[in-house]
A and B are shown apart, each in its own frame.
Chain A
């Protein structure tokens, strides 16, 4: 194991991996806004403090009052043609045209919203406009209430006071995925470590030393495994530095390490079987996609437990699932141990 770890350090390419993590971390604030907005577009509007210019034309309505009540919007009354031209020149962010349909008519009230294509700002304003449109829709519904047969159960949900937007994204998606990455990388690494010995024909030389075949094998597995809690720990630490509280960090690291062990064992069986990098990596990559998808579709899967641990909502089931995975690891270890000894002493040409 020491040889392999030293080898990794020597090659200085691990520096590249660290540089990469730094590169991603540097972009983290940009990524956070970007990724959160992909998950929940309305989150964008909380980040802006600027006032936006909107033009209102058409017939008068309660909507104008609602729009004016939003402190981040400035509403101007303008004719349609100059308003659109101003929009093109970015002097306005949106133009709203309201028809003369009466609120209690049987026809719908069709508002035309002119907005800029693909513009980040326009996206923010659209979210603010949506709030006011929803309110106006509520008003109109009240007016037309008698024509509605069945009302939904009324429910009073207090308005969220901010900070809740990216919670689900960070704890429910980002943290589990981020923390599983080192496990996947280490399992790919162990394939490299093993197939290298076969393809470079260095295995025989190694076997002639006093080290036993199994020790060689487990040394490599250990080298790959140690990296997992280290890397996952660094990610969690970086997240905490960014102000994201993570509870139960030790349990999360324990989970990740155990899951990594499963992946590493599967990967090493693939590597021992094919004895050649391309084939082993290809088969393993496909297998891992199947494995991950399948486990995500099961309730109480490890990723789900990690999400619950991070939010502090995990109960007793975490120990049950942990026990189950440990059992799987033990069985796999015994099988792999026997297979490794057989494979390393047998035919060493690529399959």
Chain B
């Protein structure tokens, strides 16, 4: 009871403190700025964005065409007689005489021609939209029907690429069952006036922006399915980047405040008072994080309501929120100065955003997209149902990492850690060493390495996304080396930190024992996670590299054990340089092992 009361008290203090510091001086200024922002947005909407004004120079003798293209600010149009313009040919990117466009043979000229073509198409559409006989102006209409076809890793492995191999003159024959399909109706079924208003609307819209806003309007638009050839604009998988801006950016912004709150406790040792209270460190951290967590959930819910999407979208966001907060906690605890804080948080946010964004590109195409919770959001917006196992696949790593990071933060939330000034690597090593106990070294090493697995998987999965669509032998080799490297570093972290802290503790019997504990922990964590998730990936040859064979257990154990032993021994004998050499040796060993497995798989 006291524990949860502590959390709530600290949460209240945190809110009071933030509102207090921000309140008096910032709030009035913030309000003024928000009002200015709205005013400026209105001004921009009316006057337009003048980023590309005047980059193309056009010369013509035709006043009609001159006024037509002056409407596009990118063109700087000169109206003069033919002779004057021809005298300055090199100055103009485009010259128009007698309804023919002459293009200056430079990159800029060609780009100008392309832009003019687009503007001309728009002008033509405007003219045709006014015709009384709409179907004479627009005789061709296209009804787009989307078929869903998802690939998994067994397809990639068997050599079937995402693209299609061309056949001979014979049409391809389907191997699966052929279901009878009704022949499409020849009529459109929508009145001419509705079509006309739809056309006029779409011609006036800026297609580059509407592609993104249409994503949120869902598939409920009945007119959306029929398009004229000019209107065809394929939806691209990269469009999911707008979700990053909409949902992830505010989360990142709010976690910055939490990060600063933690950092402020360390500045001038101000947090000493808080630490001396009877509240436990975990209560302090949870209490501080609670207002920000609640705020982030509320913002996400509000955004979901604003785009009128299903409220289930918030569910995949919660582990991401926790992960951001946990990372913010540690970054706030590690940084030595504000500059360091800014740099590290920018670095972290770029990596995290890439991890969230890249797999979502492959939504609907490949199972690998499920690695990122963002994919779940994309699928929900499209109306595809998400199963509980899908949710587990995507978010389990985020939940686990968040928990582990919070634990590391809680354990290190002490005076000597918060107020020390050692550099980044030394501090990280100290942090890790704190989570390990010298009284029960083997047990703590076992648990530490088991809990390290989520991070190892995250990094390896990122490698997988980067490499998997490369041609076959290259992707395997790169993945092989990368995965081995990551695993060996991960396994060495615990032992390295402990040896650095107390080298005399590590006699040779202890080294052997520690290696056994590390290897066991790593193996145990691996198998446990496999059991819960990602079986689709493991059943392919890619999975066998990352997740070592499910069959015999003693072989992978031996591999892990020898790897760690090599590294530990090298550290003991050679210190930091020994670490580097030992790491290389262990990685080579690991690669050889993996290669052996692969050759076995392929034969």
Contact = CB atoms under 8 A, between A and B. Distances in A.
Interface of A: 7-8, 11-14, 16-17, 19-20, 23-24, 34-35, 37-39, 41, 44, 50-53, 55, 74, 76-78, 80-82, 84-93, 97, 99-101, 103, 106-123, 126-127, 129-130, 133-134, 136-137, 140-141, 143-145, 147-158, 160-161, 163-165, 167-168, 171-173, 176, 188-189, 192-193, 195-196, 199-201, 245, 274, 276-279, 282-283, 286-287, 289-290, 293-294, 296-301, 303-304, 307-308, 311-313, 350-351
Nearest to A296: B49
B516 to A, nearest CB: 35
A16 B344 contact: yes
B167 A313 contact: no
Nearest first, the 5 closest Cβ-Cβ pairs linking A and B are A167-B111, A147-B136, A164-B110, A76-B171, A133-B229
Interface string B436-474: 000000000000000000000000000000000000000
B267 A293 contact: no
Contacts of B164: 50, 52-53, 90-93, 121
Interface residues of B, number: 130
Given A99-B184, A111-B140, A144-B139, A296 B51 contact: yes
Interface stretch (B53-61, B538-546, B587-595): B53-61
B19 to A, nearest CB: 12
Contact of B178 (A82, A141, A144, A313): A82
A304 B346 contact: no
Indicate the member of A55, A110, A150, A293 with the most B CB atoms within 10 Å.
A110
Given A167-B111, A290-B37, A85 B137 contact: no
B186 A110 contact: yes
A117 B344 contact: no
A168 to B, nearest CB: 5
Given A167-B107, A279-B26, A107 B135 contact: yes
Interface stretch (B116-124, B292-300, B307-315, B321-329): B116-124
Contacts of A13: 339-340, 343-344, 424
Interface of B: 21-22, 24-26, 29-30, 33-34, 36-37, 40-41, 43-44, 47-57, 64-65, 68, 74, 76, 96, 99-101, 103, 107-108, 110-111, 113-117, 120, 123-124, 127-128, 130-133, 135-149, 151, 160, 162-164, 166-167, 171-181, 183-184, 186-188, 208, 226, 228-230, 232-239, 241, 257, 260, 264, 267-268, 336-344, 346-347, 350-351, 363-365, 382, 423-424
B40 A294 contact: yes
Contacts of B184: 97, 99, 110, 112
A282 to B, nearest CB: 6
B142 A113 contact: yes
A298 B49 CA distance: 8
Contacts of A276: 21
Contact of B110 (A12, A119, A161, A287): A161
A153 B99 contact: yes
B346 A20 contact: yes
Given A120-B162, A156-B99, 13 more contacts: A82-B178, A110-B141, A110-B143, A120-B237, A129-B232, A147-B133, A148-B128, A150-B131, A158-B103, A196-B337, A279-B22, A283-B29, A351-B25
Contacts of B180: 81
9 contacts: A37-B238, A97-B184, A147-B133, A152-B128, A158-B101, A160-B114, A201-B268, A279-B26, A312-B108
